[in-house]
Structure 1
Amino acid sequence: MCSEGYGCVNSPGSYTCNCAEGYSGQYCNDINECEEEPHPCGENTECENTGGSYRCNCVDGFKADVGGYNCTDIDECDPVYRLCSPHANCTNTLGSYVCTCKEGFSGNGTACHALPNTTIDIVTTAPTPSLSPADFGWSVGGSIVEASWSPGDTTTIDIDCDRPGGARPCISSDYQVITNVTSHSGSQCWNYKRGRRNGEPGAGTPFSPQLNVAVGRSDGNYTGQADSFYASFWFKAAKEYTDTDTFGDGSRIMVAAGDPEGTWASSNYLEVRLESRYRAKVSVRTRESWPSYEQCAQSKNCGEDFGYLSQDGYQVVAENLEPTEWHKVEMTLRAKPEDYADEWRYVVDGRYRAEGGAYYKTKQYDEGRYLYVNRLNFAAMHPPDDNKKGFYFDDVYYKAFNSANPNVILAEYRTSFEAN
């Protein structure tokens, strides 16, 4: 008869099914919109059929625009991506790029080696970098704040465990803990499971150590010391599927740039997510300002819904990622000397790319304030239920630099959550 959830209409000697949108036929079979003419997706896209609908994915070398409706060429030669060797010239092409070693060098363009008798220019006028060695001293079973991380501008991580560095009893297990159950490198990583009840970032959620360089605007009365901030980290879902446990647990962890005072996520919003559905895969998405950063700049007031880009409020950077595999996220800020104009660029697993604006910065401009960037802020955005396993994080790295000279690192931090 009719599929579950669809109305059945009886008729003499037969029946019909009232199908939902995207389904048709006597048994309400899924319509493959990708086979229809005219083709539902635009140029430089691949059509993916889904239950009752379809999805248009950008092909390699292209990215979705802010509205998510068109795919435009990615300029891989932008210094943010740094895909070519420093001793190569990068030429952007439609959907791709070409790296060509400079005169006096040989190689494939991504790696260029000096030929005999070639003099390599060395920058001698750059400021001395304040480089940080890898951060060690992490103990299995310990809280993130037992070492160099903190709850920001407060004393404890909200709803953390009652142990050194923690404050309150857990429901039944640690909310966030250094573990040796798995790791991307070394033998340890950090498992961030659950957090504060109101699902917001800021003081009371984990903050990484701050750099001694504040990233942000330096025009006018602004006092930023660098205009660019790059961060990368590896993650994988802590949820493991079994024959009897086959649904994702709904874990959602925000990873965003944090302010020097440890009070708030100060610029962007990026989230790793495992949906609550059958054998769900992992997605990486960002929140962007609605209706656009340009229109927010004109009105100087994006209202209460300042963060909604599309119907569900998110821009997908990557999806259908295997939960049990490690994935790398890279994100880069370019602070612009103009209100509502900061840019973020994202790369997942070296393949999926997206661009966006500064979600929280938009709200700051609306409120007449400005926060700089010099660290990361993590926040569990799902309810603090016991069944949320969260995500494992490892090999966290970030640095401050100026876009005019991206090879000169002004300050950096790295950790793999190892004991020594």
Structure 2
Amino acid sequence: MISKTILVTDDALKLSWLRDAWQIAHKDEQIAFESCMTVKHIEELKKVYDQNADGQLSKTEQAYMMTSLLLNPEAAVLNYFASRRDREWPFPKYLGACGRVIFVENGGKLLDVSLESPWKQRANLAVQLLDMIDTFRNGDPDWIVMFLDFRYENFAVDQYGRLKLIDFDGVVLIDREESDDTDECASGPCENSATCHDWVNYYTCNCTSGWEGTHCEINTDECASSPCLNSAACQDNVNYYTCDCTPGYRGVHCEEDIDECVSDPCWNSATCHDHVNYYTCECADGYSGTHCEIDINECQSSPCRNGSSTCVDRVNGYICLCDPGWEGVHCEIDINECVSQPCLNQGRCFDIVNGYGCFCRYGWIGTHCDINRPCPTNPCENDGHCIMVPEGFRCLCYRGWTGTYCEKVFLGENVEVDWQLGESITRGEWSAGNEANLIQDCRQSDRFPFRTYNQCNRPGDGGQAISNEAPHSGNFSWHFKRGYSSLGGGTPFSTGLNTWAGRKDGQYSAGADSFYASFFFKLANDRLDESKIAVVAGNPHGDERASNYLEIFAEPEQRAGARFRGLHVRVADSYPNYTYCSVTKNCIAGHFSYIAENLTITTWHRIEMTLHAKPVDYFDEWHYVVDQKYHFSGGAYFQTERYDKGWPYEYVNRLKFQPRHDNYKKKYLGFFFDDVYYKAFDAEEKFDTIEEYGTSFEPIPLP
């Protein structure tokens, strides 16, 4: 065991003591590390272990160095070369040591893993190994590194493909001053990148091209043969020469006379004449100057008028670029901007330079008199917009409203009247579709509070009638409580238009490609009673739901587990989308989209729905609006089903009302309906009605 006391005394730094102690510590090891233990090596190691760089080793620093040398000399080797910053050594980065344990960075995978690598990669590793041997021999000016154990497990290849030595048991350091093998090339006697070859007690220099002499110090003169022509000056360089040509010549040896006209130096169609080292230009008419670059300036007389108009000189002429507001050859004409009549709504235009102004009539403002002057207050009802006019004000009504204050529902020019209290909906032009009467309309469990007129035997009986209980406009509305829930005929169908709406392309024969319907509804009960009625587009034959499916549903709040609660408007939609339906021909059924939820049950609500038929299967569209603020757009639910199953196409010309709650149960009080309007039109001419129908269920037209 090495005495801890000796390690921190000055005796520990003596070479003789170190060698004896090293042989005791390593008496069973067959390595030659002691050959590096010279006074010079000890002095070099002192610099490495002098951590505070004060030139003196503290007791701790001495102990650290001596312990490394005696217990683990490999650490001293790595630490020494880690301190050499003059070049990169092929060792893993040294991180520290503790006893006989050395800490270095991960060297990578062992070399034998690369035996099956591609040839190019293995060749690169072989070159790196030769470079490593050269580094060991010539990389340090003081030491020769000898490595005696070239087994695969002593080398590793890192992630960048660099070869590293990872086992240092076979490393021997040889002091160059104590070695008999003197490298005469070590001093770098050969100059100018020449290669030095070391021999016993002498060396030779293999010069690179362009150099000669014992040490390759003489630049070979390539100009000795006078290669340059035409009085050119030869400039000697390393391994080549250049010729500085006299003006007018070019080429490697200045053998070519330069044609100065090749660059086309003369402008404006002038003729170039070549001479020795110069040229002359013969100008065309209208130009002058060395290169005929000067055009005679016809703008000198300032012919352009009015403001900052720009004169542009041309060959033997000029043009005037006029300021905005002027025109003419000399910009002498003031442009009249009022010619285009920019002032709207009978506004009067007055012309100014490069502009105009508008004197607007009363009720209009804006640059072009295009903005209605708003009213101080808005007397217009039902989302109408008020504007000022000379007579006072005018209301611009939302679609479906009319009147001075937008207070009346618009029902068009074809309004059905002569309705009487208690009459069945089928008394007028409405019907049960292709059935003679409404099926299951009679024998209800309750009666209306007035006499009814229908096919039933008992007065007051029936599932529907014209009622005076809750009108939206006028005195009457239609109360639809219950009835036959058939998908086809036997349920209420409104009056059919003679113009059918639907597809007009190819084999299809609709008279219009669009259908618009509007109606008002109100829950008949003062509480949510599960009443549910579908209002859909009806077909001309009165036996089918033609295209869409819309449902009004009073879902009670007390119903446990209900997804939605309240008075709702929802539609069945083509699900999940048009593309899926057209590709699979199997739309997913039973999917509802909610347009409006939790509507007030004590007030009237308005529903608008519009069909746009498209000239492509599966692409008919329905657009819905509830109370002029809730919007939804989707597909034609039932028409999509017909495409899936190859059934005939159905056209639209009216509305069909279909109960979806049980018949004969008086808990379902249904809904009041009023102010029904629909029309057929073409989408591109949406303001041109082809045919329309309206009714407010009144005996006479409303004022």
Q: Which of the five TM-score ranges fits, normalised by the shorter chain?
A: 0.5 to 0.7
Cα RMSD between the aligned structures? 2.8
Whether contact under 8 Å (1:156, 1:167) holds in the other structure is no
Whether contact under 8 Å (1:215, 1:227) holds in the other structure is yes
SS in 1 for 2:590: coil
Which moved further from structure 2: 362-371 or 148-157? 362-371
Distance 1:315 1:189 in 2: 28
Distance 2:388 2:634 in 1: 35
SS in 2 for 1:240: coil
Amino acid at match of 2:467: T
Distance 1:112 1:102 in 2: 17
Q: 1:226 to 1:182 in 2, by over 3 A?
A: same
SS in 1 for 2:570: strand
Alignment match of 1:355 (pick from 625, 630, 633): 633
Amino acid at match of 1:270: L
Amino acid at match of 1:271: E
Q: Deviations over 1:227-284 (max 9, x none)?
A: 111100000100124xxxxxx2110110111111111110111111101334963110
Partner of 2:622: 344
Alignment match of 1:297 (pick from 571, 582, 587): 582
Q: Which runs of 5+ in 1 are unaligned?
A: 1-86, 88-99, 116-130, 242-247
Alignment match of 1:107 (pick from 372, 377, 389): 372
Distance 2:598 2:442 in 1: 32
Distance 1:359 1:228 in 2: 16
Q: 1:308 to 1:136 in 2, by over 3 A?
A: same
Q: Is 2:460 aligned against 1:180? A: no
Q: 1:166 to 1:106 in 2, by over 3 A?
A: farther
Amino acid at match of 1:349: D
Q: Deviations over 1:110-144 (max 9, x none)?
A: 677899xxxxxxxxxxxxxxx75211111111110
Distance 2:458 2:644 in 1: 38
Q: 1:101 to 1:412 in 2, by over 3 A?
A: farther
Partner of 2:678: 398
Alignment match of 2:436 (pick from 142, 146, 155): 155
Whether contact under 8 Å (2:574, 2:634) holds in the other structure is no
Distance 1:339 1:333 in 2: 15
Distance 2:458 2:666 in 1: 13
Give the TM-score of the pair, scaled to structure 2. 0.39
Distance 1:234 1:103 in 2: 40
Q: Is 2:228 aligned against 1:228? A: no
Q: 1:297 to 1:180 in 2, by over 3 A?
A: same
Distance 2:464 2:388 in 1: 45
Q: Deviations over 1:302-325 (max 9, x none)?
A: 3xxx4322xxxx110001111110
Give the TM-score of the pair, scaled to structure 1. 0.64
Which moved further from structure 2: 270-279 or 327-336? 270-279
Q: 1:378 to 1:103 in 2, by over 3 A?
A: farther
What is the CA distance between 1:225 and its match in structure 2? 1.1
Whether contact under 8 Å (2:494, 2:655) holds in the other structure is yes
Partner of 1:308: 590
What is the CA distance between 1:291 and its match in structure 2? 3.1
Distance 1:189 1:249 in 2: 20
Matched-pair identity in %: 43
What is the CA distance between 1:101 and its match in structure 2? 9.4
What is the CA distance between 1:167 and its match in structure 2? 5.5
Distance 2:654 2:629 in 1: 25
Distance 2:454 2:428 in 1: 9
Distance 1:349 1:254 in 2: 18
Distance 1:101 1:386 in 2: 61
Distance 1:365 1:204 in 2: 25
Whether contact under 8 Å (2:456, 2:462) holds in the other structure is no
Higher RCO (CA < 8 A, seq sep 6+): 1
Q: Which runs of 5+ in 2 are unaligned?
A: 1-344, 346-364, 375-384, 391-411, 444-451, 560-564
Aligned length: 292
Alignment match of 1:214 (pick from 486, 500, 508): 500
SS in 2 for 1:395: strand
Q: 1:259 to 1:101 in 2, by over 3 A?
A: farther
